[in-house]
Structure 1
Amino acid sequence: MSTAYAQSRISHKCSSNPRKALKPPARHIALRKEYVKDTKTRLVLKPQGTAHSAVAYKVLDEDGSLQFTITGRKHSDRVCREIRDSSGLPLFELHRKISLTNAWAVTLPGSNEATLATGSPQWPFGSLSAGNFTMFVENQAAVDGKREDEKKLTLLIERHGNALALFDIVDGDRKVAEMRESIQHNEKLPLTRNPWQKYRPALDLIITSGIDQSLVVTVGVILSDWVFGST
Protein backbone atom coordinates (compact mmCIF):
# COMPACT_ATOMS: atom_id res chain seq x y z
CA MET A 1 0.00 0.00 0.00
CA SER A 2 1.51 3.29 -1.10
CA THR A 3 0.65 5.26 2.03
CA ALA A 4 1.93 2.67 4.52
CA TYR A 5 5.01 4.66 5.46
CA ALA A 6 3.12 7.93 5.83
CA GLN A 7 0.43 6.31 7.96
CA SER A 8 3.08 4.72 10.18
CA ARG A 9 4.35 8.24 10.91
CA ILE A 10 0.96 9.87 11.38
CA SER A 11 -1.02 7.32 13.38
CA HIS A 12 1.45 5.39 15.49
CA LYS A 13 1.42 5.56 19.26
CA CYS A 14 4.59 4.91 21.22
CA SER A 15 4.58 2.69 24.26
CA SER A 16 3.92 4.55 27.50
CA ASN A 17 6.42 2.31 29.30
CA PRO A 18 9.83 3.79 30.10
CA ARG A 19 12.65 2.26 28.04
CA LYS A 20 14.61 -0.43 29.85
CA ALA A 21 18.36 -0.99 29.80
CA LEU A 22 19.82 -3.29 27.15
CA LYS A 23 20.73 -6.39 29.14
CA PRO A 24 21.12 -10.12 28.41
CA PRO A 25 18.17 -12.33 29.41
CA ALA A 26 18.28 -14.30 32.65
CA ARG A 27 18.22 -17.54 30.57
CA HIS A 28 18.77 -18.18 26.89
CA ILE A 29 15.84 -17.49 24.54
CA ALA A 30 15.73 -19.27 21.19
CA LEU A 31 13.79 -20.67 18.30
CA ARG A 32 17.10 -22.06 16.99
CA LYS A 33 19.71 -22.61 19.71
CA GLU A 34 22.64 -22.50 17.27
CA TYR A 35 21.99 -18.79 16.67
CA VAL A 36 22.42 -17.78 20.31
CA LYS A 37 25.67 -15.82 20.64
CA ASP A 38 27.79 -15.18 23.74
CA THR A 39 28.47 -11.55 22.81
CA LYS A 40 26.35 -8.59 21.77
CA THR A 41 25.91 -8.52 17.99
CA ARG A 42 24.66 -6.10 15.35
CA LEU A 43 22.87 -7.02 12.14
CA VAL A 44 21.14 -5.02 9.43
CA LEU A 45 17.82 -6.07 7.87
CA LYS A 46 17.61 -4.79 4.28
CA PRO A 47 14.33 -4.99 2.32
CA GLN A 48 14.47 -5.67 -1.42
CA GLY A 49 12.60 -7.56 -4.13
CA THR A 50 8.86 -8.15 -4.42
CA ALA A 51 6.23 -10.46 -2.94
CA HIS A 52 7.23 -13.09 -5.51
CA SER A 53 10.99 -12.78 -4.98
CA ALA A 54 13.14 -15.61 -3.65
CA VAL A 55 14.86 -12.93 -1.54
CA ALA A 56 12.69 -10.10 -0.18
CA TYR A 57 15.01 -9.32 2.75
CA LYS A 58 18.71 -9.81 3.34
CA VAL A 59 20.31 -9.82 6.79
CA LEU A 60 23.97 -8.84 6.97
CA ASP A 61 26.48 -8.66 9.81
CA GLU A 62 28.75 -5.70 10.53
CA ASP A 63 31.29 -6.95 7.97
CA GLY A 64 28.63 -7.14 5.25
CA SER A 65 28.51 -10.95 5.26
CA LEU A 66 25.15 -12.57 4.54
CA GLN A 67 23.58 -14.22 7.61
CA PHE A 68 19.92 -14.84 6.67
CA THR A 69 17.52 -14.34 3.78
CA ILE A 70 13.71 -14.03 3.84
CA THR A 71 11.51 -14.86 0.86
CA GLY A 72 8.63 -12.87 -0.58
CA ARG A 73 5.16 -13.58 0.81
CA LYS A 74 3.99 -15.11 -2.48
CA HIS A 75 7.19 -16.86 -3.46
CA SER A 76 5.70 -20.33 -2.95
CA ASP A 77 2.28 -21.98 -2.96
CA ARG A 78 2.20 -21.82 0.86
CA VAL A 79 1.74 -18.00 0.90
CA CYS A 80 4.12 -17.30 3.75
CA ARG A 81 7.64 -16.06 4.26
CA GLU A 82 10.51 -18.48 4.73
CA ILE A 83 13.36 -17.46 7.02
CA ARG A 84 16.50 -19.12 5.62
CA ASP A 85 20.12 -19.39 6.68
CA SER A 86 22.97 -17.94 4.63
CA SER A 87 23.11 -21.06 2.43
CA GLY A 88 19.38 -20.88 1.61
CA LEU A 89 18.27 -23.70 3.93
CA PRO A 90 14.79 -22.99 5.40
CA LEU A 91 14.80 -22.52 9.19
CA PHE A 92 11.10 -21.77 9.70
CA GLU A 93 8.10 -20.04 8.16
CA LEU A 94 6.34 -16.80 9.07
CA HIS A 95 2.58 -16.85 8.48
CA ARG A 96 0.28 -13.81 8.57
CA LYS A 97 -3.13 -14.65 10.04
CA ILE A 98 -6.46 -12.87 9.66
CA SER A 99 -6.85 -12.49 13.39
CA LEU A 100 -6.47 -9.81 16.05
CA THR A 101 -5.45 -12.33 18.71
CA ASN A 102 -2.84 -14.38 16.83
CA ALA A 103 -1.90 -12.26 13.84
CA TRP A 104 1.42 -14.03 13.15
CA ALA A 105 2.64 -17.58 13.54
CA VAL A 106 6.17 -18.98 13.26
CA THR A 107 6.22 -22.66 12.31
CA LEU A 108 8.69 -25.32 11.25
CA PRO A 109 9.25 -25.52 7.46
CA GLY A 110 6.36 -27.13 5.60
CA SER A 111 4.04 -27.23 8.60
CA ASN A 112 1.12 -25.14 9.82
CA GLU A 113 0.88 -27.17 13.01
CA ALA A 114 4.39 -27.20 14.53
CA THR A 115 4.13 -23.68 15.95
CA LEU A 116 7.21 -22.17 17.60
CA ALA A 117 5.82 -18.70 18.31
CA THR A 118 2.75 -16.51 17.81
CA GLY A 119 2.34 -12.73 17.78
CA SER A 120 -0.62 -10.56 18.81
CA PRO A 121 -1.00 -6.80 18.19
CA GLN A 122 -1.39 -4.59 21.24
CA TRP A 123 -3.96 -1.81 21.67
CA PRO A 124 -2.31 0.95 23.74
CA PHE A 125 -4.65 3.83 24.66
CA GLY A 126 -7.59 1.88 23.22
CA SER A 127 -6.51 1.95 19.56
CA LEU A 128 -4.40 -0.26 17.34
CA SER A 129 -0.86 1.04 17.02
CA ALA A 130 1.51 -0.35 14.40
CA GLY A 131 4.68 -1.62 16.02
CA ASN A 132 3.41 -2.70 19.45
CA PHE A 133 2.76 -6.41 19.88
CA THR A 134 3.23 -9.42 22.15
CA MET A 135 5.13 -12.52 21.07
CA PHE A 136 4.53 -15.88 22.75
CA VAL A 137 7.57 -18.14 22.32
CA GLU A 138 8.08 -21.88 22.80
CA ASN A 139 11.62 -21.48 24.10
CA GLN A 140 13.76 -24.12 22.39
CA ALA A 141 16.69 -23.23 24.65
CA ALA A 142 14.77 -24.61 27.64
CA VAL A 143 13.00 -27.68 26.22
CA ASP A 144 14.91 -29.99 28.58
CA GLY A 145 14.28 -27.85 31.64
CA LYS A 146 11.65 -28.40 34.30
CA ARG A 147 10.43 -24.83 34.77
CA GLU A 148 7.35 -24.05 32.69
CA ASP A 149 8.01 -20.29 32.84
CA GLU A 150 11.30 -20.85 31.00
CA LYS A 151 9.75 -23.08 28.32
CA LYS A 152 6.92 -20.67 27.43
CA LEU A 153 7.93 -17.02 27.25
CA THR A 154 6.15 -13.75 26.59
CA LEU A 155 8.14 -11.00 24.88
CA LEU A 156 6.82 -7.46 24.52
CA ILE A 157 7.70 -5.46 21.41
CA GLU A 158 7.38 -1.77 22.21
CA ARG A 159 7.56 1.12 19.76
CA HIS A 160 9.43 4.27 20.73
CA GLY A 161 10.90 7.20 18.83
CA ASN A 162 9.45 9.87 16.58
CA ALA A 163 11.70 11.03 13.74
CA LEU A 164 13.32 7.58 13.54
CA ALA A 165 11.25 4.48 14.24
CA LEU A 166 12.65 2.59 17.23
CA PHE A 167 11.51 -0.73 18.69
CA ASP A 168 12.49 -2.65 21.84
CA ILE A 169 12.14 -6.38 22.54
CA VAL A 170 11.47 -6.66 26.25
CA ASP A 171 11.77 -9.78 28.39
CA GLY A 172 10.43 -9.08 31.87
CA ASP A 173 12.49 -6.31 33.43
CA ARG A 174 15.07 -5.95 30.65
CA LYS A 175 15.44 -5.08 26.99
CA VAL A 176 17.15 -7.97 25.21
CA ALA A 177 17.25 -6.44 21.71
CA GLU A 178 16.39 -3.23 19.90
CA MET A 179 15.88 -2.28 16.29
CA ARG A 180 15.79 1.09 14.63
CA GLU A 181 15.84 2.74 11.24
CA SER A 182 19.43 2.67 10.09
CA ILE A 183 21.13 5.99 9.47
CA GLN A 184 24.11 4.27 7.86
CA HIS A 185 22.20 1.95 5.51
CA ASN A 186 19.30 4.12 4.34
CA GLU A 187 19.62 6.49 1.41
CA LYS A 188 17.40 9.16 2.95
CA LEU A 189 16.49 10.28 6.44
CA PRO A 190 12.76 10.43 7.34
CA LEU A 191 12.48 14.21 7.03
CA THR A 192 13.92 14.19 3.48
CA ARG A 193 11.52 11.57 2.09
CA ASN A 194 8.25 12.02 0.24
CA PRO A 195 5.76 11.06 3.00
CA TRP A 196 3.25 9.67 0.48
CA GLN A 197 5.73 7.48 -1.39
CA LYS A 198 6.28 3.89 -0.30
CA TYR A 199 9.63 3.50 1.43
CA ARG A 200 10.82 0.47 3.39
CA PRO A 201 13.89 1.42 5.41
CA ALA A 202 16.74 -0.84 6.46
CA LEU A 203 16.70 -1.63 10.17
CA ASP A 204 19.66 -1.97 12.51
CA LEU A 205 19.26 -4.91 14.92
CA ILE A 206 21.19 -4.73 18.20
CA ILE A 207 21.06 -8.08 19.99
CA THR A 208 22.37 -8.94 23.46
CA SER A 209 24.12 -12.20 24.22
CA GLY A 210 21.80 -15.04 25.16
CA ILE A 211 19.05 -14.42 22.58
CA ASP A 212 18.65 -16.14 19.23
CA GLN A 213 19.53 -13.93 16.26
CA SER A 214 16.99 -15.66 14.01
CA LEU A 215 14.21 -14.86 16.50
CA VAL A 216 15.14 -11.16 16.49
CA VAL A 217 15.32 -11.20 12.67
CA THR A 218 11.80 -12.65 12.56
CA VAL A 219 10.53 -9.86 14.82
CA GLY A 220 12.25 -7.35 12.54
CA VAL A 221 10.48 -8.78 9.47
CA ILE A 222 7.10 -8.58 11.23
CA LEU A 223 7.76 -4.94 12.13
CA SER A 224 8.99 -4.01 8.65
CA ASP A 225 5.95 -5.64 7.01
CA TRP A 226 3.45 -4.15 9.46
CA VAL A 227 4.83 -0.64 9.94
CA PHE A 228 6.29 0.10 6.50
CA GLY A 229 4.31 -2.16 4.16
CA SER A 230 5.07 -5.67 2.91
CA THR A 231 6.05 -7.15 -0.43
Structure 2
Amino acid sequence: MSYTSYAEARMSHMFRPTPRKALRPPTRQLALRPDHIASANAALVLKPGRDDSAEVGYCIEQEDGTPVYTVTGRKFGDRTSREFRDESGLPLFEIHRWAVLSVPFYWYLTLPGSDRKARIATVESQTSLKGGDLKVSFENIAYNPDTKDKGEAQKGITLMVRRHGEALRLFDIVDGDRRVGEVRESIRFNEKLFLTKKSRRQGARPAMEIVVVPGVDASLVAAIAVILSDWYFGSG
Protein backbone atom coordinates (compact mmCIF):
# COMPACT_ATOMS: atom_id res chain seq x y z
CA MET A 1 0.00 0.00 0.00
CA SER A 2 1.32 3.41 -0.94
CA TYR A 3 1.91 6.22 1.53
CA THR A 4 -0.86 8.26 -0.12
CA SER A 5 -3.53 5.55 -0.03
CA TYR A 6 -2.74 4.75 3.60
CA ALA A 7 -2.97 8.41 4.56
CA GLU A 8 -6.22 8.89 2.67
CA ALA A 9 -7.74 5.84 4.34
CA ARG A 10 -6.77 7.18 7.74
CA MET A 11 -7.93 10.72 7.12
CA SER A 12 -11.30 9.47 5.83
CA HIS A 13 -12.12 8.47 9.42
CA MET A 14 -13.59 11.10 11.71
CA PHE A 15 -11.50 12.26 14.62
CA ARG A 16 -12.10 14.57 17.55
CA PRO A 17 -9.85 17.66 17.35
CA THR A 18 -8.21 18.59 20.64
CA PRO A 19 -5.75 21.44 21.25
CA ARG A 20 -2.16 20.23 21.47
CA LYS A 21 0.76 21.71 23.40
CA ALA A 22 3.76 23.10 21.55
CA LEU A 23 6.65 20.67 21.03
CA ARG A 24 9.63 22.08 22.94
CA PRO A 25 12.32 21.03 25.45
CA PRO A 26 11.50 20.83 29.17
CA THR A 27 12.70 23.47 31.61
CA ARG A 28 14.92 20.83 33.28
CA GLN A 29 16.19 17.47 32.09
CA LEU A 30 13.91 14.45 32.58
CA ALA A 31 15.38 10.98 32.86
CA LEU A 32 15.39 7.48 34.27
CA ARG A 33 18.71 6.85 32.51
CA PRO A 34 20.71 10.11 32.21
CA ASP A 35 23.07 8.57 29.65
CA HIS A 36 20.10 8.28 27.27
CA ILE A 37 19.03 11.94 27.37
CA ALA A 38 18.57 13.29 23.84
CA SER A 39 20.88 16.15 22.91
CA ALA A 40 18.81 17.03 19.82
CA ASN A 41 15.40 16.14 18.45
CA ALA A 42 15.34 12.35 18.07
CA ALA A 43 13.12 10.35 15.71
CA LEU A 44 12.75 6.63 16.44
CA VAL A 45 10.55 3.81 15.14
CA LEU A 46 9.03 1.11 17.33
CA LYS A 47 8.58 -2.14 15.39
CA PRO A 48 6.62 -4.96 17.09
CA GLY A 49 7.36 -8.64 16.61
CA ARG A 50 4.68 -11.25 15.95
CA ASP A 51 5.55 -13.70 18.73
CA ASP A 52 5.13 -12.59 22.33
CA SER A 53 7.24 -15.51 23.53
CA ALA A 54 10.23 -14.40 21.42
CA GLU A 55 13.34 -12.78 22.85
CA VAL A 56 12.73 -9.68 20.74
CA GLY A 57 9.12 -8.58 21.19
CA TYR A 58 9.88 -5.04 20.04
CA CYS A 59 12.77 -3.35 18.27
CA ILE A 60 13.24 0.40 18.53
CA GLU A 61 15.35 1.79 15.71
CA GLN A 62 16.49 5.02 14.18
CA GLU A 63 14.67 5.88 10.97
CA ASP A 64 17.53 4.41 8.92
CA GLY A 65 17.12 1.03 10.64
CA THR A 66 19.97 1.35 13.15
CA PRO A 67 18.97 -0.53 16.35
CA VAL A 68 18.71 1.55 19.51
CA TYR A 69 16.73 -0.64 21.95
CA THR A 70 15.12 -4.07 22.07
CA VAL A 71 12.35 -5.30 24.36
CA THR A 72 11.71 -8.95 25.16
CA GLY A 73 8.38 -10.62 24.52
CA ARG A 74 5.96 -10.52 27.42
CA LYS A 75 6.03 -14.33 27.63
CA PHE A 76 9.74 -14.82 26.87
CA GLY A 77 11.41 -17.41 29.12
CA ASP A 78 10.02 -17.75 32.62
CA ARG A 79 9.40 -14.04 33.10
CA THR A 80 6.06 -12.24 33.16
CA SER A 81 7.57 -8.84 32.45
CA ARG A 82 9.35 -7.24 29.51
CA GLU A 83 13.08 -6.54 29.72
CA PHE A 84 14.12 -3.29 28.06
CA ARG A 85 17.67 -3.43 26.65
CA ASP A 86 20.06 -1.08 24.88
CA GLU A 87 21.56 -1.85 21.47
CA SER A 88 24.33 -3.96 23.04
CA GLY A 89 21.83 -6.15 24.91
CA LEU A 90 22.47 -4.54 28.30
CA PRO A 91 19.25 -4.52 30.38
CA LEU A 92 18.15 -1.00 31.36
CA PHE A 93 14.93 -1.78 33.22
CA GLU A 94 11.93 -4.11 33.30
CA ILE A 95 8.34 -3.26 32.38
CA HIS A 96 5.65 -4.97 34.48
CA ARG A 97 1.90 -4.91 34.16
CA TRP A 98 -0.24 -5.16 37.26
CA ALA A 99 -3.85 -6.05 36.48
CA VAL A 100 -6.46 -6.24 39.22
CA LEU A 101 -10.16 -5.42 39.10
CA SER A 102 -9.72 -2.17 41.01
CA VAL A 103 -6.83 -1.00 38.79
CA PRO A 104 -7.24 -2.65 35.37
CA PHE A 105 -4.57 -0.66 33.55
CA TYR A 106 -1.40 -0.10 35.57
CA TRP A 107 2.26 -0.62 34.69
CA TYR A 108 5.49 -0.07 36.60
CA LEU A 109 9.21 -0.10 35.85
CA THR A 110 11.98 -1.58 37.97
CA LEU A 111 15.73 -1.85 37.57
CA PRO A 112 16.90 -5.23 36.22
CA GLY A 113 16.77 -7.96 38.87
CA SER A 114 15.49 -5.66 41.61
CA ASP A 115 12.54 -6.26 43.91
CA ARG A 116 9.22 -5.48 42.27
CA LYS A 117 8.40 -3.11 45.10
CA ALA A 118 11.42 -0.95 44.19
CA ARG A 119 9.63 0.89 41.42
CA ILE A 120 11.38 3.63 39.50
CA ALA A 121 8.28 4.64 37.50
CA THR A 122 4.56 3.96 37.34
CA VAL A 123 2.11 4.36 34.47
CA GLU A 124 -1.61 4.33 35.15
CA SER A 125 -4.77 4.90 33.17
CA GLN A 126 -7.02 7.78 34.06
CA THR A 127 -10.12 5.70 33.27
CA SER A 128 -11.36 2.19 34.01
CA LEU A 129 -12.01 1.72 30.30
CA LYS A 130 -9.42 0.95 27.63
CA GLY A 131 -8.43 4.28 26.17
CA GLY A 132 -8.01 7.82 27.40
CA ASP A 133 -5.02 9.41 29.06
CA LEU A 134 -2.16 7.94 31.08
CA LYS A 135 -0.30 9.39 34.05
CA VAL A 136 3.45 8.68 34.21
CA SER A 137 5.16 9.21 37.57
CA PHE A 138 8.88 8.71 38.22
CA GLU A 139 11.85 9.80 40.27
CA ASN A 140 13.87 12.13 38.07
CA ILE A 141 17.46 10.85 38.04
CA ALA A 142 18.47 14.07 36.26
CA TYR A 143 17.22 16.06 39.26
CA ASN A 144 19.59 18.89 40.19
CA PRO A 145 18.94 20.31 43.69
CA ASP A 146 21.42 23.13 43.06
CA THR A 147 19.42 24.69 40.25
CA LYS A 148 18.87 28.43 40.71
CA ASP A 149 15.15 28.07 40.03
CA LYS A 150 13.86 26.02 42.96
CA GLY A 151 10.53 25.66 41.18
CA GLU A 152 12.30 23.50 38.63
CA ALA A 153 14.11 21.39 41.21
CA GLN A 154 11.55 18.60 41.24
CA LYS A 155 12.67 15.07 41.92
CA GLY A 156 9.22 13.52 41.67
CA ILE A 157 7.87 14.11 38.15
CA THR A 158 4.44 13.51 36.64
CA LEU A 159 3.93 13.51 32.88
CA MET A 160 0.60 13.09 31.11
CA VAL A 161 0.09 11.04 27.97
CA ARG A 162 -2.76 12.65 26.01
CA ARG A 163 -4.49 10.80 23.23
CA HIS A 164 -5.46 12.68 20.06
CA GLY A 165 -7.42 11.38 17.09
CA GLU A 166 -9.71 8.40 16.65
CA ALA A 167 -8.50 6.44 13.62
CA LEU A 168 -4.80 7.27 13.53
CA ARG A 169 -3.42 6.70 17.02
CA LEU A 170 -1.51 9.76 18.21
CA PHE A 171 -0.26 10.40 21.74
CA ASP A 172 1.41 13.48 23.20
CA ILE A 173 3.69 13.23 26.24
CA VAL A 174 3.01 16.43 28.13
CA ASP A 175 5.08 18.16 30.80
CA GLY A 176 3.07 21.09 32.11
CA ASP A 177 2.63 23.60 29.31
CA ARG A 178 4.65 21.73 26.67
CA ARG A 179 4.87 18.55 24.66
CA VAL A 180 8.20 16.80 25.31
CA GLY A 181 7.56 13.65 23.30
CA GLU A 182 5.18 12.08 20.83
CA VAL A 183 4.15 8.56 19.85
CA ARG A 184 2.07 8.07 16.74
CA GLU A 185 0.94 5.22 14.56
CA SER A 186 3.23 5.30 11.55
CA ILE A 187 2.16 5.83 7.98
CA ARG A 188 5.60 5.41 6.44
CA PHE A 189 6.58 2.21 8.25
CA ASN A 190 3.33 0.22 8.04
CA GLU A 191 2.45 -2.04 5.13
CA LYS A 192 -1.18 -2.68 6.14
CA LEU A 193 -4.09 -0.96 7.81
CA PHE A 194 -5.14 -1.64 11.38
CA LEU A 195 -8.55 -0.03 11.18
CA THR A 196 -10.77 -3.08 11.66
CA LYS A 197 -11.82 -4.80 14.87
CA LYS A 198 -10.70 -8.08 13.29
CA SER A 199 -7.10 -6.88 13.04
CA ARG A 200 -7.26 -5.82 16.71
CA ARG A 201 -8.55 -9.25 17.79
CA GLN A 202 -5.74 -10.94 15.86
CA GLY A 203 -3.22 -9.02 17.93
CA ALA A 204 -1.91 -7.01 14.99
CA ARG A 205 0.32 -4.19 16.17
CA PRO A 206 1.48 -1.42 13.85
CA ALA A 207 4.84 0.32 13.81
CA MET A 208 4.86 3.52 15.85
CA GLU A 209 6.96 6.63 15.29
CA ILE A 210 8.52 8.27 18.35
CA VAL A 211 9.67 11.86 18.75
CA VAL A 212 11.89 12.91 21.67
CA VAL A 213 12.92 16.52 22.34
CA PRO A 214 16.34 17.56 23.71
CA GLY A 215 16.65 17.14 27.47
CA VAL A 216 14.41 14.07 27.69
CA ASP A 217 15.47 10.45 28.22
CA ALA A 218 14.80 8.57 24.96
CA SER A 219 14.56 5.23 26.79
CA LEU A 220 11.75 6.60 28.98
CA VAL A 221 9.73 7.76 25.97
CA ALA A 222 10.41 4.46 24.16
CA ALA A 223 9.16 2.52 27.21
CA ILE A 224 5.96 4.59 27.17
CA ALA A 225 5.59 3.72 23.47
CA VAL A 226 5.86 -0.01 24.29
CA ILE A 227 3.13 0.33 26.92
CA LEU A 228 0.90 2.23 24.49
CA SER A 229 1.38 -0.42 21.80
CA ASP A 230 0.51 -3.22 24.22
CA TRP A 231 -2.48 -1.32 25.58
CA TYR A 232 -4.05 -0.33 22.28
CA PHE A 233 -3.01 -3.12 19.93
CA GLY A 234 -3.35 -6.36 21.73
CA SER A 235 -0.86 -8.17 23.86
CA GLY A 236 -1.02 -5.92 26.91
**Do both proteins adopt the same fold according to a TM-score greater than 0.5, normalized to the shorter chain?**
yes
* 1:219 equivalenced with 2:221 (yes/no): no
- From the superposition, tell whether residues 134 and 15 of structure 1 become closer, same or farther in structure 2 (CA, over 3 Å): farther
Give identity over the alignment, percent: 48
**Which amino acid in 2 is paired with 1:150?**
Q
Listed as ranges, the matches of 1:1-231 within 5 Å are 18-99=19-100, 100=103, 103-111=106-114, 112-123=116-127, 128-142=129-143, 150-190=154-194, 194-197=196-199, 198=202, 199-230=204-235
Q: Which residue is 1:10 aligned to?
A: none
Once the two structures are TM-superposed, the CA of residue 161 in structure 1 deviates from its matched residue by 1.2
CA distance in 1, matches of 2:218, 2:225: 10
User: Which structure has the larger Rg?
Assistant: 2
Q: After the TM superposition, which of the residue ranges 32-41 and 182-191 deviates more from structure 2?
A: 182-191
SS in 2 for 1:183: coil
**Which amino acid in 2 is paired with 1:212?**
D
- Number of residue pairs matched by the alignment: 213
CA distance in 1, matches of 2:84, 2:16: 28
Task: Please list every run of 5 or more consecutive structure 2 residues that lacks an aligned counterpart in the other structure.
Answer: 1-14
**Which amino acid in 1 is paired with 2:113?**
G
Is the CA contact (8 Å cut-off) linking 2:44 and 2:63 kept in structure 1? yes
SS in 1 for 2:182: strand
Is the CA contact (8 Å cut-off) linking 2:39 and 2:214 kept in structure 1? yes
**Which amino acid in 2 is paired with 1:220?**
A
**Which amino acid in 1 is paired with 2:232?**
V
Is the CA contact (8 Å cut-off) linking 1:15 and 1:132 kept in structure 2? no
Is the CA contact (8 Å cut-off) linking 1:131 and 1:167 kept in structure 2? no
SS in 1 for 2:189: coil
CA distance in 2, matches of 1:49, 1:218: 18
- From the superposition, tell whether residues 175 and 76 of structure 1 become closer, same or farther in structure 2 (CA, over 3 Å): same
SS in 1 for 2:228: helix
Once the two structures are TM-superposed, the CA of residue 26 in structure 1 deviates from its matched residue by 0.7
SS in 2 for 1:51: coil
Is the CA contact (8 Å cut-off) linking 2:205 and 2:233 kept in structure 1? yes
Once the two structures are TM-superposed, the CA of residue 18 in structure 1 deviates from its matched residue by 2.2
TM-score (norm 2): 0.83
Q: Deviations over 1:189-213 (max 9, x none)?
A: 345xx43123200000011111000
- From the superposition, tell whether residues 195 and 102 of structure 1 become closer, same or farther in structure 2 (CA, over 3 Å): closer
Structure 1 segments of 4+ aligned residues over 4 angstroms from their partners? 14-17, 143-149
Once the two structures are TM-superposed, the CA of residue 73 in structure 1 deviates from its matched residue by 1.0
CA distance in 2, matches of 1:15, 1:67: 34
**Which amino acid in 2 is paired with 1:128?**
L
- From the superposition, tell whether residues 15 and 26 of structure 1 become closer, same or farther in structure 2 (CA, over 3 Å): farther
CA distance in 2, matches of 1:131, 1:64: 31
Once the two structures are TM-superposed, the CA of residue 162 in structure 1 deviates from its matched residue by 2.1
**Which amino acid in 1 is paired with 2:76?**
H
- From the superposition, tell whether residues 114 and 47 of structure 1 become closer, same or farther in structure 2 (CA, over 3 Å): same
**Which amino acid in 2 is paired with 1:224?**
S
TM-score (norm 1): 0.85
CA distance in 2, matches of 1:32, 1:174: 21
Once the two structures are TM-superposed, the CA of residue 143 in structure 1 deviates from its matched residue by 6.0
Is the CA contact (8 Å cut-off) linking 1:59 and 1:69 kept in structure 2? yes
